[in-house]
Structure 1
Amino acid sequence: MMHINFYSLNLNCKKSQETIDLSHQVIFFHGKVSSGKSSIARLINFCLGGNLERTIAIQKEVISVSLELAVGNYKVLLERNAESSSIVTASCINEQGESFTINVPVNAGNQPVYAGQVYSLSDLIFYLLNIKVLRIPAKKNVQENTSLVRLTLKNFMWYCYLDQSKLDNSFFRHEDGTKTKSSKEILKYIFQYSTQKLIELQEKLTNTRKERFQKHATAEGLREFLKKFNFSSDEEISFLEESTKAKLDKAKIEKKRIEADYSSNTHTVDKLRNEIRELIMSLTSLEQGITDIERRIEQQTSLKSELISSKFKVAKNHTIANVFQGINFMNCPDCGTNLSKRKVNDDTCKVCLSPKDLENPEIRDDLEVIQIDLNERIRELDSSIDLHKKSLVQSKKEFAAKHKIRQELDQKLQHDLKQYESIFLSNIRDVDKSVATFTERLKSIKRMKLMPREIKKLEEVAHKLILQERELKRLIAEETANFVKGEELIEELEEVFLEILIEVGMPGISAKDKVSINRNNWDVSILPAGEEYLRWNFYNAGSGGKKTLFNSCFLLAIHIIAAKHDLPIPTFIIIDTPMKNIDKEVNTDIFKSFFDYLYKLASSILDKTQIIIIDNNYIPPSTEITIDFVHRYMEAGNPENPPLIPYYDGP
């Protein structure tokens, strides 16, 4: 059994904090309409990850809601924002006092949020119950590309919570195309027509088939691709490789032959090349000589200019000495100092204080010698410059003549080579293209040579996967063969369901009738007096009251068998208005029979199952039955028996 029981439901409203006591085994909420009775069940379901019908009262007043419950050996507090938040805050503590708190998504994400295996709130509940997450194929027939979908606590809730809005128009989601398979898989799992081991084997089989299909498809695709290029086998590739090698070797030999022929055909111009090479060396030497002569002429011309400038400087110094001779300076011509106050001897210069000869001022005798020497040097430079200029002219003429000869030789060499190169280039380009083509083709072939081997590996893996599939099918068959217990449980479910219908007084049911549950589609039918042609079921039961009673009784039958044989189903039942569409005044016997039977179950086989009943009318248990029972009357505007939100006055 999945031991889940509730302690309390807590509402955080805008003006108050409301707590609904859920700590008893059987809880009966009754009262007038619009008092919030159904909202209690919906809020419990909301805290467990379900959707919430947002009534006006909930939209306007409820901020958040929390549910305190027991899950296996853990005490758990689930907190969820009333704005349909996708996150639930779960606080858990076990019997040893170990605790943790996590924010867990309602729907599974891509990454685990706890213990490496909890992806959603449902996973957390299963983790606390020490149950592995269940997965089933997404389609009825398991195929190569079929994915697996998760079964969640919501799926189990179909057999634990009967919602008032769907109680008379929905038979445990069996008619809902989007949920039919998962609802039936839950029944198969509960009644041992499917086990956790079987689900795991089916999941392995699905994954193995998918992998095998992918390997096989990849191998076939590669083989078809290679066939277009004659690469479908090692023999074909080896033959093509050898053929390409031979062609490449032949092309390389042809290239060497063409290069050798070119070398031999062009030896006649080697003499011409040598002449041009010697001529280039001579031109280079001449060019360097011309540069040296020009540099020497430039240097000597510059020196001549400096010598001429020196002549002017010597003449200028002599003239200045004569001009300033005998002048009596009053102030220093350099700094302007007054010289009249300076006491000097008559034989000393007032300016520089040097001794002087008053009668014969100093006159340098070597000025004339210097002038003669400068003139001689200038004449020598003129002669040297003239000689260099003549040599420069001669060198330039010789350079021009040899340069012309070189141009003629270059033209002749180009003409001679052109005859050979045009043929050589044409031949060598063709053979180079062949060499490059065969080289790249050989590289591609070597790469392609690995592909058949990889294809063979893929096919070997696919073959091994086929063997694994056969083994998994054998194990699945063995596991399925063990479903004798499951068949016995379904037969017992048929008997118990009929007993309940008789016990509560379902109209048109007698002990001679028979209940039949189809093992393929799980349709539940009534066979009056065992007659097949009179078969009827939920969908053609007729009145809404009979449909409501049909669903409620079948739910009780499931929990009776589950409790008796310790089958995996949550240990709580929530039925919102089991007497929907049934008038208490007209059908008093059905009312009393149903609730008396329910209380009797709660005190016996379902004594470990928590039962929450919501209905407009209230029938208490008889004094002969001892159970942990509590009821709450709810009425809007009644302070002594307040509604779910006491202060709220609205629709």
Structure 2
Amino acid sequence: MNINLIMLVVRSRKNIVQVDFSKTVTFIYGPVGTGKSSVARLIDYCFGGELERTPAIQHELVSVTLEAKLGKYDCTFERGSDNPQFVRVTWSNREGYINSVKAPIAAGDITITSGEVYNLSDLIFSLCDIEPIKVLKRSRDPDSPMIRLSFRDIWRYCYLDQAHLDSSFFRLEEPFRARKSQDAMRFFTGLHSERLSQLQLEYYRLNTKQHGSREAIEQIRSFMVRFEFGSEEVIHQKINDLKSRLARARNQRNLIEKERANIIHPSEGLRERLRLISNKLSDLKDAINMSTTTIQEQIALRSELITTKLKAEKTKKAASILEGVKYSSCPQCGTDIKNKEASIHECSLCCANLENSVEISSNYMESVRREVNDRIDQINDSINRRNQELERSKRELVIVEEEKRKLDFELQDKLKRYDSAYIEAVRDLDKEIAKLDERLDSYNNFKKMSIAIEDLKKQEIDSINKIEDLKITIESERKRLSNGEKNARKIAEKFREIMIDVGFPGFSENDKISLDPRNWKPVITHSDQEWGFWDTGSGGKKTLFNVCYALAIHEVALEDEMPVPNILIIDSPTKNISEDENPELIRSLYNEIYRFASSKRSHGMQLLLIDSDLVEPEFELTDFLQRRMAGEAEAPSLIPYYVGP
């Protein structure tokens, strides 16, 4: 699952801070309280997470923008500090396609773009060209509907946050979140049972259908015996009698029909209704054409606004890059201007008075950005409303056309009828014919019961054959899942190798690790003892346990092309581990991380490390990027001007 972070833009009340990310390893370090962990939290916030409301975030944060590449799309995630329900997502590709939506965190009933995309999670999967599995909404409810696995469920294996690093093993101890975390591991390893669940549901459905057919046969036979329709001969005799009576009634009515007058009296009221309906049809068609044209114009306007917004952002970036550049020659004609004398208050190129220039503040840019986003949302809302009105108009058009068709037939029928005297004459015969027709239909239905019994027998036999086929398919699907178990064993073995390389305290080369795919909790076997994450005792060992397990998952995922996002954020990997007391342990942990980052199979893997002290790689690591946050001029905090709790 290809996700690559490019940069994070944090807009506070007084300034804008940009944090760039390396394609391989980005290391952010510095003292406490400078905003290091907030970088990771803001990335998580842009991906739909909740933001920890520190005093600095509460008072100073305005909005945050994350630029990333998802699959083949260049994406921008924008989220204001006061927007807990939506994330603005804009994406484009090299073919010139561009789109922007306000994606809700929680799924609603309306799609936000093409396909089955209802919220931010669905959109991220769609942009990465990944089809998430479907899992039971309620694991202990056999009638529970199937829902799509959320991106947030797999993201917890890519973001090891500081708060849970030494107290939670990927939320497997939490009753409600454990099932989703387990579903994520099944999705990674191929052990998910979506198809198996569907096959089993189909198996139960066919079993129910088979029993239902058998019960229906018994009930139909019991019903026919109860009302003395036990044989086809009795039903056939009654049907012949009804046909004779019906033929006599129709012949009598035909005789009266031949004597009717030639003068036809059409209904003027019916004609007036038809004229009104024709006018209404014409108005509806005109309204539909106008609505279609307006929607096309609004779609074009929305695209222009999105393009304008992106151009404005690029212009701002270009201005910030070229700010302070000294020119030695004219960038247009190449004339040497090094010796050109210009006042300190004049531009060295065009000699414009710089004192009259207006500096655009970050607040103004933020207000312009929000205004453009609001305008895009208004156009989206207008398009949705007009689409709804268009659909209603089309449905009304169908109804009116059907009504006109019925009235046309009714008018033709009335034009053929006699006046009130004729109607009175044939009324009794019509009642008799209708009564006989109804009885004849009933007896014909009774006759079909015997045919239905034969059909139900065939359906029962067909269900039995399908059930046998499903049994074979279910068994084959269960065997196919054995590949997922191999992936689980690979993760356990890789976890063991990493624990040995890091020098995990109390773990020896003779120890074994087993990973049960039913609960995904690794168990270490030492001689005749077994222990796991919750038995380590030390907070530092729990931190190491989590980090090593995450590294094992990502390394096996890259080797076997498992659908794990190729990004790993670790906030404080040495939490609760003293550098003075355990320098070798810290160095071996970082050596293992850098070894993973530098291996050929980790190509495309992106790591973000956050810690108090910088631990540099002992060898040259391509694109290694370090950033110090210390609240100093050379190493500013995330919000440089803020001083407070």
Q: Same fold (TM over 0.5)?
A: yes
Q: 1:535 to 1:222 in 2, by over 3 A?
A: same
The question of whether the paired residues in 2 share the 8 Å contact of 1:74 and 1:128 is answered with: yes
Q: 1:38 to 1:467 in 2, by over 3 A?
A: farther
Q: Does 2:142 align with 1:147? A: no
Counterpart CA distance in 1 for 2:196 and 2:119 is 23
The equivalent residue for 2:196 is: 202
CA deviation after TM superposition for structure 1 residue 457, in Å: 6.5
CA deviation after TM superposition for structure 1 residue 477, in Å: 2.9
The equivalent residue for 2:549 is: 554
Q: Does 2:567 align with 1:572? A: yes
Counterpart CA distance in 2 for 1:231 and 1:180 is 58
Unaligned runs of 5+ residues in structure 2 are 243-434
Q: Deviations over 1:93-130 (max 9, x none)?
A: 12323222222222322232222222222222222222
Counterpart CA distance in 2 for 1:61 and 1:463 is 72
The two structures have a TM-score, normalised by structure 2, of: 0.62
Q: Does 2:641 align with 1:647? A: yes
* Farther off after superposition, 207-216 or 505-514: 207-216
Q: 1:238 to 1:139 in 2, by over 3 A?
A: farther
Q: Deviations over 1:349-403 (max 9, x none)?
A: xxxxxxxxxxxxxxxxxxxxxxxxxxxxxxxxxxxxxxxxxxxxxxxxxxxxxxx
Counterpart CA distance in 1 for 2:59 and 2:221 is 71
Q: Deviations over 1:403-422 (max 9, x none)?
A: xxxxxxxxxxxxxxxxxxxx
Q: Deviations over 1:572-595 (max 9, x none)?
A: 001111111112211111111111
CA deviation after TM superposition for structure 1 residue 217, in Å: 8.7
User: Which secondary structure does the structure 2 equivalent of 1:76 belong to?
Assistant: strand
User: Which secondary structure does the structure 1 equivalent of 2:51 belong to?
Assistant: coil
The question of whether the paired residues in 1 share the 8 Å contact of 2:22 and 2:624 is answered with: no
Q: Does 2:118 align with 1:119? A: yes
Which residue of 628, 632, 638 corresponds with 2:627? 632
The equivalent residue for 1:71 is: 70
Q: Deviations over 1:304-323 (max 9, x none)?
A: xxxxxxxxxxxxxxxxxxxx
Counterpart CA distance in 1 for 2:506 and 2:90 is 50
Which residue of 495, 505, 508 corresponds with 1:507? 505
Counterpart CA distance in 2 for 1:177 and 1:156 is 17
Q: Does 2:604 align with 1:608? A: yes
CA deviation after TM superposition for structure 1 residue 560, in Å: 0.9
User: Which secondary structure does the structure 2 equivalent of 1:6 belong to?
Assistant: strand
Counterpart CA distance in 2 for 1:47 and 1:454 is 60
The question of whether the paired residues in 2 share the 8 Å contact of 1:9 and 1:20 is answered with: yes
Q: Does 2:33 align with 1:34? A: yes
The equivalent residue for 1:428 is: none
Q: 1:535 to 1:114 in 2, by over 3 A?
A: same
The question of whether the paired residues in 2 share the 8 Å contact of 1:28 and 1:630 is answered with: yes
Matches within 5 A, 1:370-519: 464=462, 467-468=465-466, 470-519=468-517
Which residue of 615, 618, 621 corresponds with 1:619? 615
Q: 1:504 to 1:237 in 2, by over 3 A?
A: farther
Q: Deviations over 1:125-164 (max 9, x none)?
A: 2222222231023455794x24212112112112111111
Counterpart CA distance in 2 for 1:465 and 1:648 is 72
The equivalent residue for 2:350 is: none
The equivalent residue for 1:534 is: 529
CA deviation after TM superposition for structure 1 residue 184, in Å: 1.9
Counterpart CA distance in 2 for 1:131 and 1:550 is 29
The equivalent residue for 1:430 is: none
User: Which secondary structure does the structure 1 equivalent of 2:625 belong to?
Assistant: strand
Q: 1:55 to 1:231 in 2, by over 3 A?
A: farther
Q: 1:50 to 1:231 in 2, by over 3 A?
A: farther
Q: Percent identity?
A: 35
Number of residues paired by the alignment? 458
Counterpart CA distance in 1 for 2:132 and 2:565 is 15
CA deviation after TM superposition for structure 1 residue 511, in Å: 1.0
The question of whether the paired residues in 2 share the 8 Å contact of 1:496 and 1:557 is answered with: yes
Counterpart CA distance in 2 for 1:477 and 1:140 is 22
The question of whether the paired residues in 2 share the 8 Å contact of 1:215 and 1:458 is answered with: no
The question of whether the paired residues in 2 share the 8 Å contact of 1:208 and 1:465 is answered with: no
Q: Does 2:20 align with 1:21? A: yes
Q: Which amino acid aligns with 1:204?
A: Q
Q: Deviations over 1:502-533 (max 9, x none)?
A: 111210111111111123322201112xx3x3
Matches within 5 A, 1:53-202: 53-138=52-137, 143=142, 145-194=143-192, 199=194, 201-202=195-196
Q: 1:520 to 1:601 in 2, by over 3 A?
A: same
Counterpart CA distance in 1 for 2:21 and 2:452 is 64
Q: Deviations over 1:472-511 (max 9, x none)?
A: 4533432432345434433332222112111112101111
Matches within 5 A, 1:308-327: none
Counterpart CA distance in 2 for 1:162 and 1:120 is 24
Counterpart CA distance in 2 for 1:9 and 1:142 is 42
Q: Which amino acid aligns with 2:615?
A: I
* Farther off after superposition, 107-116 or 207-216: 207-216
* Farther off after superposition, 97-106 or 613-622: 97-106
Counterpart CA distance in 2 for 1:572 and 1:616 is 21
CA deviation after TM superposition for structure 1 residue 460, in Å: 6.4
Q: Does 2:520 align with 1:522? A: yes
CA deviation after TM superposition for structure 1 residue 92, in Å: 1.4
Q: 1:206 to 1:479 in 2, by over 3 A?
A: closer
Q: 1:441 to 1:91 in 2, by over 3 A?
A: same
Q: 1:49 to 1:439 in 2, by over 3 A?
A: same
Q: 1:565 to 1:237 in 2, by over 3 A?
A: same
Q: Which has the larger radius of gyration?
A: 1
Counterpart CA distance in 2 for 1:136 and 1:103 is 26
Q: Which amino acid aligns with 1:616?
A: S
Q: Deviations over 1:430-456 (max 9, x none)?
A: xxxxxxx99999998887887897798
User: Which secondary structure does the structure 2 equivalent of 1:68 belong to?
Assistant: strand
User: Which secondary structure does the structure 2 equivalent of 1:101 belong to?
Assistant: strand
The question of whether the paired residues in 1 share the 8 Å contact of 2:22 and 2:625 is answered with: no
CA deviation after TM superposition for structure 1 residue 211, in Å: 4.9
User: Which secondary structure does the structure 1 equivalent of 2:134 belong to?
Assistant: strand
Q: Which amino acid aligns with 1:180?
A: A
The question of whether the paired residues in 2 share the 8 Å contact of 1:234 and 1:449 is answered with: no
The question of whether the paired residues in 1 share the 8 Å contact of 2:79 and 2:88 is answered with: yes
Counterpart CA distance in 2 for 1:539 and 1:460 is 58
The question of whether the paired residues in 2 share the 8 Å contact of 1:9 and 1:21 is answered with: yes
User: Which secondary structure does the structure 1 equivalent of 2:89 belong to?
Assistant: strand
Counterpart CA distance in 1 for 2:123 and 2:228 is 55
Counterpart CA distance in 2 for 1:189 and 1:585 is 41
Q: 1:617 to 1:59 in 2, by over 3 A?
A: same
User: Which secondary structure does the structure 2 equivalent of 1:178 belong to?
Assistant: helix
CA deviation after TM superposition for structure 1 residue 84, in Å: 4.0
Q: Which amino acid aligns with 1:627?
A: T
The two structures have a TM-score, normalised by structure 1, of: 0.62
Q: Deviations over 1:283-313 (max 9, x none)?
A: xxxxxxxxxxxxxxxxxxxxxxxxxxxxxxx
User: Which secondary structure does the structure 1 equivalent of 2:129 belong to?
Assistant: coil
The question of whether the paired residues in 2 share the 8 Å contact of 1:41 and 1:574 is answered with: yes
Matches within 5 A, 1:4-15: 4-15=3-14
